[in-house]
Structure 1
Amino acid sequence: MSETIVMPKLGMTMTEGTITEWYKEVGDTVEKGEPVLMISSEKLNQDVEATSSGILIEKFGNVEDELKVGDALAFIGEEGEKPSSADKKDTDAVSVDVTEYEKPASPADMPTQQGVTKHQRSNRIFITPLARRIAADNDIDIQSVTGSGGKGRITKRDIEHILESGTHIQTGSQQELAAQQSAATATVSVGEGLSPMRKAIARNMRDSLSQTAQLTLHRKANAEQLIDFQQTLRDKLSASNSEMKLSVTVLLARAVVLALQELKSMNATYHDGQLKEFDEVHLGIATSLDDGLLVPVIKNAHQKTIGALANEMKDVTERARNGEADPSLLSGSTFTITNLGASGIEYFTPILNPTETGILGVGTLQEELVLAEDGTVKTIKKIPLSITFDHQIVDGAKAAEFLSVLVKYIESPYLLVL
């Protein structure tokens, strides 16, 4: 049974993926369920498995090629079988029929003994989807491009070379030329030279900043009661021989969930021109890795007790750091928390997780001297909070109100269990 393996969609915002590694070569036998290649998206690496057994007849992309979701990656069939035009649709060797525009062949374009000439010698041009998109964005005539890839295929590097040289621009002043070259370079240079994960993070963060009006508000909360409450719960857990680890971050997560249920305008996503507020809280927990960042999601966090949150936060962050996170674990968040307290950071300006309305940054505990009611000076601990929000959707007053509600739960922590 023949099969066309296509680029899967690993998350709500994924539009394209990068081929990271091929495990099989053309002619190799492939068993059902066996990994054929590895791809990477903005969030993770993922093996793509065969859903049927057969022979790998054709590969439609090379390592580092970027293909759109749904594009064909490989064709598996019986020995001697060839993929049909339907099987090849939207592959990384997209065919563009240019018969009507073909110029008469010059002697330099006549076939050689090796069957290779300087220009395309058929009525089709082979070009990768990414190269095709960049060429279209910059009004580059692909008929004039000489491909350096296999079988004369035009690659991203071929288009980048033309953009860098400026030869695709025929008219305009020198200032216009410089501006267009600068814009073209910016288009293709985001994340260039980085690992697939860092490249995807670079693109997501640039997209986040370019598509939203981000503003960050800062405020401190008195953490004395929260710390006392944490110690009380720890003592109770220890007395019952429980091994649960109850951190301040867990209590903050519970406080955030309750605050979001009071102010649903902060528990919202804005995507494809549609704003949606949620009753459910799906809480993203920013988790640092050696080579990047992942945001595993606690689904339906509003339905979980403090203990359940503690256990699930430990589970999802460990899975993310161990490379065991699947796409379902890394998608669907409605709000995100990122904590840099362990790094000694006080305040910072976190960048929105794309499509979300808000993200909370948590800093390190700080000691401050305050004047008590009896006139004495005492030391208290405060926790710095930074809320970044999309000013297109939420005004500063509403974001400030969210911080006030959050501070209420932090400074009156027994409300967390009601």
Structure 2
Amino acid sequence: MSEAIVMPKLGMTMTEGTIVEWYKEVGDSVNKGEPILMISSEKLNQDVEAPITGVLLTKNGEVEDELEVGATIAVIGDEGETIVTNDLQAVQSDSPAIPESSEASGNTADIANTKEKKSKGDRTFITPLAKKMAKAEDLDIDLIKGTGGNGRITKRDIQHALASRVDDTPPAPPSPTPAIAENVGEGLPPMRKAIARNMRRSLAQTAQLTLHRKANADHLIDFQKVLRKEIESSELDVKLTLTVLIARATVLALQELKKMNSLYHDGQLTEFDEVHLGIATSLKDGLLVPVIKDAHQKTIGSLAKEIKDLSEKAKNGEAGGDLLSGSTFTITNLGASGIEYFTPILNSPETGILGVGAFQDELTLTENGTVKSVKKIPFSITFDHQILDGASAAEFLTILIKYIESPYLLVL
């Protein structure tokens, strides 16, 4: 019995995925668990494996085609097996049939190179994304010649039809919520294209504002030295970085101000008691955000090990969808690049993201009148002004800095 391979959902905000590469062709034998193709989401490239052993019977998309989550990418079954086509696969047109003697009317009649209708009962193969685009633009897919496999209509065919159409109808009024244009990221590599679409979506759907503040890091650095000595004497395999201590301070601050530890998605605001902390990790061709699940339950040592492990997996391409989804708040650190303050973009649908900058040496006047050099660490908190006011975001920074400047609170 055949079984479909569907576009997986790799994160809460993922709505479609892009086919990056096919490893198998129609008619090839495949084994259960064997990679069939590679897809790209807004966060990563990932192989999709065969759910059963059999033969690849159909491919419902070509390289660079975008398919909605849940859409059938391919079907595996026994050689020669008959497949029942459904709406998520290469679909049959649900447009009303028009007799061959009739002439099409309206805008679609002006589409270039589409003068003849298909015969009644002929099957029109079209990718899910192309069908969605055609419906949105009121295109008659029976008038469009597909250039994909088996004559399948693809996104490019729809775009070509739109470019060729003479449309005398007035433009539709703008949508209250800005839509993400289909051509956002066009021409970029799959990961960069996905990042481009995600960033544009984040900016379009939120009211982002960033506040900046510095903290005295001297006590935190001293605390790190003390812990490192204890780690060395105990011969523990723990790499204690300042990022780990900042992560711990962030978790505690989020538990005190739960409004910042929230998601706004599909018109619903959800505040969390649990902290699932995303740590932005820079790659050669993009950015991934591996997630430390239940970070509020982890000790400093546990956080250190998990941050190190997840970072290595992300950089080695070993971080699957389960490690890159489910975050409630994100930290991004540009300190190694020498950047002090910056404006991080929300990892939608999260309410806040913390930017960490490079340490700065500053001179300060002590209580006894002497001048002292201190280390300052700059923080930038971007938040959704729809959810929080500036005073609440400022309160979050105040709580965070309390833990940075009194670091022994991190172990209480």
> Structure 1 length as normaliser, TM-score?
0.89
**Counterpart AA for 2:217:** A
Deviations along 1:48-77, whole A, 9 cap, x unmatched?
222222222222221211111221122222
Q: Which residue of 2 aligns with 1:367?
A: 361
- Say whether the 8 Å CA contact 1:284–1:335 is kept in structure 2: yes
The alpha-carbon deviation at position 125 of structure 1 amounts to: 3.2
Q: Which residue of 2 aligns with 1:315?
A: 309
Q: What SS does structure 1 have at the residue aligned with 2:93?
A: strand
Are positions 1:299 and 2:293 aligned together?
yes
**Counterpart AA for 2:375:** K
Matches within 5 A, 1:90-169: 90-91=88-89, 93-104=90-101, 119-123=116-120, 124-164=123-163, 167-169=165-167
The alpha-carbon deviation at position 278 of structure 1 amounts to: 0.6
Cα distance 1:245–1:277, how it changes in 2: closer, same or farther (>3 A)?
same
Q: Which residue of 2 aligns with 1:211?
A: 205
Q: Which residue of 1 aligns with 2:261?
A: 267
Q: Which residue of 1 aligns with 2:169?
A: 171
- Say whether the 8 Å CA contact 1:214–1:390 is kept in structure 2: yes
| Deviates further, 117-126 or 287-296 | 117-126
- Say whether the 8 Å CA contact 2:6–2:73 is kept in structure 1: yes
Are positions 1:83 and 2:83 aligned together?
yes
Aligned equivalents of 2:91 and 2:140: distance in 1? 15
Q: Which residue of 1 aligns with 2:231?
A: 237
The alpha-carbon deviation at position 245 of structure 1 amounts to: 1.5
The alpha-carbon deviation at position 151 of structure 1 amounts to: 4.1
Aligned equivalents of 1:34 and 1:148: distance in 2? 29
Alignment gaps of 5+ in structure 1: 107-115
Aligned equivalents of 2:259 and 2:95: distance in 1? 51
> Structure 2 length as normaliser, TM-score?
0.91
Aligned equivalents of 2:150 and 2:58: distance in 1? 14
Q: Which residue of 1 aligns with 2:42?
A: 42
Q: Which residue of 2 aligns with 1:112?
A: none
Q: Which residue of 2 aligns with 1:7?
A: 7
Q: What SS does structure 2 have at the residue aligned with 1:89?
A: coil
- Say whether the 8 Å CA contact 1:140–1:168 is kept in structure 2: no
Aligned residues: 398
% identical equivalent positions: 68
Aligned equivalents of 1:89 and 1:117: distance in 2? 24
Cα distance 1:4–1:305, how it changes in 2: closer, same or farther (>3 A)?
same
- Say whether the 8 Å CA contact 1:284–1:333 is kept in structure 2: yes
Q: What SS does structure 1 have at the residue aligned with 2:139?
A: coil
The alpha-carbon deviation at position 346 of structure 1 amounts to: 0.4
Q: Which residue of 1 aligns with 2:110?
A: none
Matches within 5 A, 1:328-343: 328-343=322-337
**Counterpart AA for 2:8:** P
Stretches (4+) displaced over 6 A: none
Q: Which residue of 1 aligns with 2:107?
A: none
| Deviates further, 307-316 or 74-83 | 74-83
| Deviates further, 308-317 or 155-164 | 155-164
The alpha-carbon deviation at position 137 of structure 1 amounts to: 2.7
Aligned equivalents of 2:214 and 2:179: distance in 1? 42
Q: What SS does structure 2 have at the residue aligned with 1:388?
A: strand
- Say whether the 8 Å CA contact 1:37–1:49 is kept in structure 2: yes
Q: What SS does structure 1 have at the residue aligned with 2:125?
A: strand
The alpha-carbon deviation at position 22 of structure 1 amounts to: 1.6
**Counterpart AA for 1:169:** D
Aligned equivalents of 2:22 and 2:242: distance in 1? 44
